[in-house]
Chains A and B, each alone.
Chain A
Amino acid sequence: MTPMVDTFAVILIFLLLTSQMRSPEPANVDMPFSISETPIPDVNSMTFLISNDSKVYFNVDNGPDTTLKFRRKILEEMGKAYNIEFTDKELTLFEKYPSPIGLPIQNMKDFLNANSAERKNMETGIPIDSADNQLSMWILYARQVNPNVRATIKGDSETEIPAVQKVLNILQEKNVNRFNLVTSLEAVKINLDEIQK
C-alpha cells in the first residue's frame, strides 16, 4: 500500500505545482491550432471571446499589481458613461469576477446581484452594432485606465468570419492594430527535400 500512497502524493504535488486554476468560461470555445509557442500573457490584456453563435464577451485583467484594481475603475467609467450608479459592493463583485462577461451594461447591475444560475441566462453578448456599440466603449475605457493593455482574441474555430471582422474593425477604429490570437499548439515539420523537387 505504501508505494501507492507515495505515487499518489507525488502526482498530487506535481499537479499542485504545475497547474493553474481554469476560470469558467461563459461559452464553450474550441480554439484553432497554430505553430506559435508564445504563451498567453497573464496581465495587461483584454480578451475578446467570440463564441460560435457570434456572441462577443469581454474580459480584462486587474493589472500587474493587486492595488491597481483596473476592473473596478473600468466599470466605474462605464457606469458614468451610461448613467448607472454602481455601489461599492457591485464594483468589488465585478473586480473579483473571473470570467468574461457578455451582456449589455444596462443589465450589469442585475447580473452582479444575481446568483450563478441566473447569471447564465443573462449573458446575451455585448452589443456591437453601430447604434449601440458598447464594445467600443469597453475598449475605450480599458485603454484609458490601463494604457499598456493588449488585445487578445479568443475565437471558436467554427465562428463565421464576419463576427470576427466586426470586432477587428471596432478595435481598429480605436487604433488597436496589434492582436494576439489565442490558439492551441500544433507542431508542424517541413521536410526540405520535399519542397526541392
Chain B
Amino acid sequence: MAEIIQAEKGGKGGKKRAKKLLPHMDMTPMVDLMMLLITFFMLTTSLSKSKVMEMILPPKLKDPNAEPPKIIASRTLNILLGPENKIYWYTGGVSPDEYNNLPPVRETDYSAEGIRALLLERNRALFRKINDFEQQVLEGKIKIPRDSVQSAISKLKTDDDTGPIVLIKAYKKANYGNFVDILDEMNICGIARYTIMDIAFYENTMVEKAAGITPSTASTN
C-alpha cells in the first residue's frame, strides 16, 4: 500500500531518489487486529481443563432392617465436618447408654498441621509403604509396567490392617468445599478405608456443644 503511494509520488515529482527507498508495509492495522483476536480468545476460551476427583459411595441398604457392617472400634476415626471450616473428631463408637454422657470431641482444621498431621500419624505405616514403593519404582529397583503401579498401590491399601477406618460425617452447616477438602486429604494421606455417612443425632449434639451453637437456633435455620 505504502509502496504504491511512493511510486505515485515518484511519478509526479520526477525524483528518482524516492524509488530507492526500501518498500515497507504499514503493519499497524494488522497488529491491532491480532491483539483484538488474542484478547478475544483469551477471554472466551479456557486453557486448562478442569480435573475430576472420583468418589465411590457404598450402595444404600435397601432393607431397613439390615445390619450395617461391623467395624473395629479401636481403628475407627470419626471426622465431623463442622461450621466455619472447623473439624471435630473423636475415636471409637458411641454406644446407646452413652447418649446422655457423650464423649468429648477434639477440634482441628483443614491445614497441613491440623487434619493432615492427624491422619498421617495414624496412617504412617501404610503411607511409608506406599511412598517406599513409589520411590523404588522411580529408581528402577522394582520392575513393574507403568500401568500396573496404580493397581499395586491399591493392593497395598486393601492388604493394610493397621490404618484408621475413617468415617466422614458432615454437619448441616459445613460446605461443599470442606467436603471435597476432606476427601482430598484422604487421597493425600493414602487412607485405605474411608466412607461418607449421614451424621447421627448424637453427633449433631456433639458438634453443637463443641461449636457453641444452641440446638434451638440450629434447628430453626
Binding site for B on A (CB under 8 A): 1-2, 4-5, 8-9, 11-12, 15-16, 18-22, 31-41, 50, 152, 155-165, 168, 172-173, 175, 177-185, 188, 190, 192, 195-196
Contact = CB atoms under 8 A, between A and B. Distances in A.
A172 B50 CA distance: 24
B50 A31 contact: yes
Contact of B180 (A2, A173, A181, A185): A181
Contacts of B38: 8, 11-12, 15
Nearest to B124: A195
Nearest to A173: B60
A147 to B, nearest CB: 18
B187 A36 contact: yes
A160 B171 CA distance: 10
A161 B178 contact: yes
A2 B34 CA distance: 13
Interface stretch (B39-47, B71-79, B151-159): B39-47
B61 to A, nearest CB: 11
B90 to A, nearest CB: 20
Contact of A22 (B27, B31, B46, B56): B46
B136 to A, nearest CB: 14
Given A11-B38, A12-B38, A195-B127, A18 B176 contact: no
A38 B49 CA distance: 10
B177 A157 contact: yes
B197 to A, nearest CB: 11
Given A40-B51, A161-B174, 20 more contacts: A12-B38, A12-B41, A20-B46, A33-B181, A34-B187, A36-B51, A39-B50, A39-B52, A155-B180, A157-B176, A158-B177, A159-B176, A160-B172, A161-B171, A165-B198, A175-B59, A181-B53, A181-B54, A184-B50, A195-B117
Given A9-B34, A15-B38, A34 B176 contact: no
19 contacts: A1-B27, A4-B27, A19-B46, A31-B50, A34-B53, A35-B184, A38-B52, A38-B54, A155-B180, A156-B176, A159-B175, A160-B173, A161-B81, A161-B176, A178-B55, A181-B53, A188-B188, A190-B116, A195-B117
B87 interface: no
Interface of B: 27-28, 30-31, 34-35, 37-38, 41-42, 44-60, 81, 116-117, 120-121, 124, 127-128, 131, 170-181, 183-184, 187-188, 198
A38 B48 CA distance: 12
Contacts of B56: 177-179
Nearest to A16: B41
A8 B30 CA distance: 10
A31 B51 CA distance: 10
A2 B27 CA distance: 8
Contact of B187 (A20, A35, A162): A35
Q: Chain A: interface secondary structure?
A: mixed
B57 to A, nearest CB: 5
A49 to B, nearest CB: 12
B52 to A, nearest CB: 4
Nearest to B37: A12
A4 B45 contact: no
A40 B54 CA distance: 10
Nearest to B184: A34
Nearest to A172: B60
Nearest to B190: A190
A17 to B, nearest CB: 11
B51 A161 contact: no
A36 B55 CA distance: 11
Contacts of A181: 52-55, 180, 183
